[in-house]
Chains A and B, each alone.
Chain A
Amino acid sequence: MTALSLKGLNKSFGKVQVLKDINLDVDDGEFVVFVGPSGCGKSTLLRVIAGLEEASSGDVLIGAENVNATPPSKRGIAMVFQSYALYPHLNVRNNMTLALKQEKQTKAVIEQRVAKATQMLDLQDYLERFPSELSGGQRQRVAIGRAIVREPKLFLFDEPLSNLDAALRMNTRVEIANLHRALDASMIYVTHDQTEAMTLADKIVVLNEGRVEQVGSPMQLYNNPSNRFVAGFIGAPSMNFLPADLIHKGDTRTLGIRPEDLFLSDDGVLSATALHVEALGADTNIIAQLGEHQITIRLFGQHSVADGESLKIGFTDEKSFYFDSNGSRVH
């Protein structure tokens, strides 16, 4: 069954159209990630789904019911904000129970749900603390806890990890994945970090300038991007784009090759000069100058390449993509 469907959503602020004809289905229990560059309308889309912002046209259906006119609190969804948005004047317990009290749940139910959520998130020791007395990671967990206690059918996360440091981000990412397994609710997760998108998602929705560029599983998007934007956005370091003219004279298309699909070889068709070498231990990134273009080559293992060294670079045909001048994939 579909937990959420969006039908022809448009949203404008004054003259600026921020969302353009969004159509999307989210299945029950699915983990959907919205990715896209900053300002592409991810947060706006999330706020429209939550009912915090009204769409200019189009329908939002939650569990087959049209909720265009339903207030946020009655939509059966919970949201975790980028800034956490904990109530600074309430302690952790009251932060988590406010929504339940508004719903007029009984004391016993509230107690039981808080107990369950705090146990899941390891927050037992912090219930009486105020948000200002918590670390960033703990605040993050409280924000998630506040969403969990409502037992929603659909969770919305707006870049929940962007304020955490790298190590904590990785832990929390795993925690969110576990949570998804334990709760079996649908989740929509916004990020512009494509590692988060690849590792968490059942389904990724790539947004650009308010439009859905492509929807698919992480591997579908990686292996089979439908246009140049998706190809460049998914995968890190991002795909190299070169004029196909370099290979076949007179070809007007653009050739795309992922850094990890390039290799050094004496009979390589591309010749370039190494500009900068990033040795990461497990792999080595070489940034090289090829005519007027810069390309990135990702080699597995450790390689000693000196700056300024001449390189012969090869690639295989099945690992290359071609795009026409509009950015659509043609091969």
Chain B
Amino acid sequence: MRTARTHFPSAVAMHGALLLYMLIALFPIFVILINSFKKRKSIFREPLALPNSDSFSLIGYKTVMEQGDFFLYFQNSMIVTVVSLFFILLFGAMAAYALSEYRFRGNLLMGLYLALGIMIPIRIGTVAILEMMVATGLVNTLWALILVYIAQGLPLAVFILSEFMRQVSDDLKNAGRMDGLSEYQIFFRLVLPLVRPAMATVAVFNMIPIWNDLWFPLILAPGEEVKTLTLGSQVFIGQYVTNWNAVLSALSMAVIPVLILYVIFSRQLIRGITSGAVK
């Protein structure tokens, strides 16, 4: 039998294409990584060469560790990203469930209103946000960033999750009601596990922009204590001189947590796809 799986040439072509794509995607990261271990001169002389005994140097990492408060920045970024994601997923899922499950007056309008934010970039409101943060005394706190990122992430989260939640069958929720689950238990114990792949998608979509954001940290939380990693790394990029060793090292280290989070979420994604959980 000639099925797609046993059809040798097409399997080779498919894997070839995927491998090629992987190489293209990984190449910039690879270049950053190898150059972060090189002396400044070798970075510019041979950017694509692997570090050897001549060019090897940890000077970049040393600078990053010594100058600025790298671990504090790192911790700030981590807190902001994780807490924002947690609330985006929690509130997004709850709003999506209410919109998809309950019939009430204004349901459609409410859904449209919540989705409006997808089309309007939150940065338009920067001045107003800054004024609000000043008024509430939240400037230079991590909460300022967390609140903004939650607002930024919710529209897409509500939109994607409510689509998925509509697919969870009514019979299943009714079976839960017959079995004595409360509405909250139905949400947390039946619906959430079933839309886990969608939750992972939302998490991945939101995580990277939050982690990489420079705009809001610069405006709302530039203080030394609350700097995020992206903002903290900017000290190495000067108007006249840029400390490339330090920049590359900082970037290399900044990739790691995102990578870890991504692996966690993507496993959920794959599991969801292969088990056809939403049914």
Chain B binds chain A: yes
Interface residues of A in 77-104 (CB under 8 A from B): 77-79, 81-89, 98-99, 102-103
Interface with A: B140-148, B174-182, B217-225, which one?
B174-182
Number of interface residues of B (CB under 8 A): 18
Q: Does A47 belong to the interface (CB within 8 Å)? A: yes
Q: Does A12 belong to the interface (CB within 8 Å)? A: no
B180:A87 contact, CB within 8 angstroms = no
Across-interface contacts of B178 in A (CB, < 8 A): 50, 52, 72-73, 77-79, 99
A81:B190 contact, CB within 8 angstroms = no
B169:A85 contact, CB within 8 angstroms = yes
Alpha-carbon distance between A83 and B169 when the two chains are bound, in angstroms: 9
Residue ID in chain B nearest A131 by CB atoms: B279
23 interchain pairs, CB-CB under 8 A: A50-B178, A52-B174, A52-B178, A71-B177, A72-B174, A72-B178, A73-B179, A73-B181, A81-B175, A82-B171, A83-B171, A84-B171, A85-B169, A86-B175, A87-B172, A87-B175, A87-B176, A88-B277, A99-B178, A102-B180, A102-B181, A132-B276, A146-B175
Q: Mark B174-198, 1 if CB is under 8 A from A, else 0.
A: 1111111100000000100110000
Besides A72-B178, A74-B180, A85-B171, 4 new A-B residue pairs in contact (Cβ under 8 A), listed by A number = A77-B178, A89-B193, A99-B179, A102-B179
Across-interface contacts of A71 in B (CB, < 8 A): 177
CB distance from A95 to the nearest CB of B (A): 9
Across-interface contacts of B176 in A (CB, < 8 A): 87
Alpha-carbon distance between A84 and B172 when the two chains are bound, in angstroms: 8
Alpha-carbon distance between A10 and B180 when the two chains are bound, in angstroms: 26
A89:B194 contact, CB within 8 angstroms = yes
Given the interface contacts A99-B179, A103-B180, does A85 sit within 8 Å of B275 by beta carbon?
no
Number of interface residues of A (CB under 8 A): 25
Interface residues of A in 87-126 (CB under 8 A from B): 87-89, 98-99, 102-103
Interface residues of B in 21-65 (CB under 8 A from A): none
Alpha-carbon distance between A137 and B138 when the two chains are bound, in angstroms: 60
Q: Mark A45-58, 1 if CB is under 8 A from B, else 0.
A: 00100101000000
Across-interface contacts of B190 in A (CB, < 8 A): 87
Across-interface contacts of A146 in B (CB, < 8 A): 175, 179
Chain A-chain B contacts (Cβ-Cβ < 8 Å), number: 58
Alpha-carbon distance between A164 and B208 when the two chains are bound, in angstroms: 47
Across-interface contacts of A102 in B (CB, < 8 A): 179-181
Across-interface contacts of A73 in B (CB, < 8 A): 177-181
CB distance from B42 to the nearest CB of A (A): 53
Across-interface contacts of B175 in A (CB, < 8 A): 79, 81, 85-87, 146
Alpha-carbon distance between A99 and B181 when the two chains are bound, in angstroms: 8
Alpha-carbon distance between A326 and B87 when the two chains are bound, in angstroms: 63
Alpha-carbon distance between A225 and B175 when the two chains are bound, in angstroms: 36
Across-interface contacts of A74 in B (CB, < 8 A): 180
Alpha-carbon distance between A99 and B180 when the two chains are bound, in angstroms: 6
Alpha-carbon distance between A50 and B176 when the two chains are bound, in angstroms: 12
Across-interface contacts of A87 in B (CB, < 8 A): 172, 175-176, 190
B193:A81 contact, CB within 8 angstroms = no
A88:B180 contact, CB within 8 angstroms = no
A72:B177 contact, CB within 8 angstroms = yes
Across-interface contacts of B193 in A (CB, < 8 A): 89
Q: Mark B159-181, 1 if CB is under 8 A from A, else 0.
A: 00000000001011011111111
Interface residues of B in 254-276 (CB under 8 A from A): 275-276
Which one of B175, B190, B193, B277 has the highest number of Cβ atoms from chain A below 10 Å of its Cβ? B175
Residue ID in chain A nearest B278 by CB atoms: A88
CB distance from A183 to the nearest CB of B (A): 17
CB distance from A117 to the nearest CB of B (A): 15
Alpha-carbon distance between A85 and B194 when the two chains are bound, in angstroms: 13
CB distance from A91 to the nearest CB of B (A): 13
Across-interface contacts of A83 in B (CB, < 8 A): 169, 171
Task: From the candidates A81, A85, A89, name the one contacting B277 in the complex (CB within 8 A).
Answer: A89
Alpha-carbon distance between A187 and B163 when the two chains are bound, in angstroms: 37
Alpha-carbon distance between A82 and B170 when the two chains are bound, in angstroms: 11
CB distance from A162 to the nearest CB of B (A): 13
Which one of B180, B275, B277 has the highest number of Cβ atoms from chain A below 10 Å of its Cβ? B180
A81:B180 contact, CB within 8 angstroms = no
Alpha-carbon distance between A283 and B154 when the two chains are bound, in angstroms: 66
The 4 closest A-B pairs by CB, nearest first: A73-B180, A102-B180, A99-B179, A85-B171
